[in-house]
Amino acid sequence: MAKQLMVNPLARIATVMACMTFALALSSCAEQKAYEDASRDDTIYSYRKYLDKYPNGEHSDLVYDRVEDLYFKNALERSTPEAVDKYIKEYPKGRFIEQAHKARVRLCYEQAADRDTPKSYREFLREFPRGSFADSAWKRLEDLTYRFAARSDSVIAYEQYLEEFPTGRHVEDAHAAIIRIAYLNAAGEDTIEAYEEFLREYYESRYASGVKSRLVYLRGQFEPQQTTPASARTGEADAVNE
């Protein structure tokens, strides 16, 4: 009887151990099947479903990496800054974080180029003032700003261009346009005061000679080689048309 009492606890322990081993085997089989199902679908949703059930499972490290792979892959396939932002937010220290930031800059530039407006390039440059696309954005912004100034053909527009791009590629053209407009305004008034004001500002300009001749006539002064009013007018017209 005593021997039987000693054996029974051991038998019980053996039975419990066998049950636990069998349960673990069943759990392992279930996890393996869940992993295989997730791998077959190969989607973020399917892997999330696996991780919800087996966050520390045998395959969890592989699954976490695969989810990150899919997040980054989806971001690149969608080709939008918003999609890349989603990856960056989800994996701020992820394996593709450097590539993600570079892709985001490129995609933001492509969006600005698609709209191709001064506003779109200014928005891009506010966020990315330096980098691989900054020079291209600045050049295109300058061209568009000057094109707007030339289309409006006003002193204010040209001065705004010069203020924003003091060493730009169209600086000489902008200065020449401002002088031309000032000359046309003076010629439109055709008064001594208007011409004198023009000369104070642009004494060395290509219009100065014609303006001086016109001033001589308007003042009623005569010089040895003074031009007639008609020829003075002709000289002015030639200067504008040059």
pLDDT tier, 12 (very low <50, low <70, confident <90, very high otherwise): low
How far is the C-alpha of 198 from the C-alpha of 194, rounded, in Å?
Answer: 6
How far is the C-alpha of 105 from the C-alpha of 133, rounded, in Å?
Answer: 8
**pLDDT score of 26:** 43
Q: Where are the alpha helices (DSSP H) in the chain?
A: 2-41, 44-53, 60-78, 81-90, 97-115, 118-127, 134-152, 155-164, 171-189, 192-201, 208-219, 229-241
* 198 pLDDT above the threshold of 50: yes
Mean pLDDT along residues 234-241: 54
Say whether pTM exceeds 0.75: no
What would the pLDDT profile of 32-52 be if each residue is shown by its tens digit? 999 999 999 999 999 999 999
Burial readout 145-160 (b: 16 or more C-beta within 10 A, e: otherwise): bbeebbeeeebebbeb
**pLDDT score of 226:** 45
pLDDT tier, 227 (very low <50, low <70, confident <90, very high otherwise): very low
pLDDT tier, 220 (very low <50, low <70, confident <90, very high otherwise): confident
Q: How far is CA 18 from the centre of its chain?
A: 64
* 206 pLDDT above the threshold of 50: yes
* 241 pLDDT above the threshold of 90: no
What would the pLDDT profile of 112-158 be if each residue is shown by its tens digit? 999 999 999 999 999 999 988 999 999 999 999 999 999 999 999 99
Average pLDDT, the chain: 86
* 88 pLDDT above the threshold of 80: yes
Q: Which of 79, 134, 122, 121 is nearest to 104 (CA)?
A: 79
Q: Which of 106, 169, 114 is nearest to 139 (CA)?
A: 169
* 21 pLDDT above the threshold of 50: no
**pLDDT score of 29:** 86
Long-range contacts of 168-177 (CB under 8 A, 24+ apart): 168/142, 169/139, 169/142, 170/142, 170/143, 170/146, 173/146, 174/146, 174/149, 177/149, 177/150, 177/153
Instruction: Give the three-class secondary structure for 125.
Output: helix
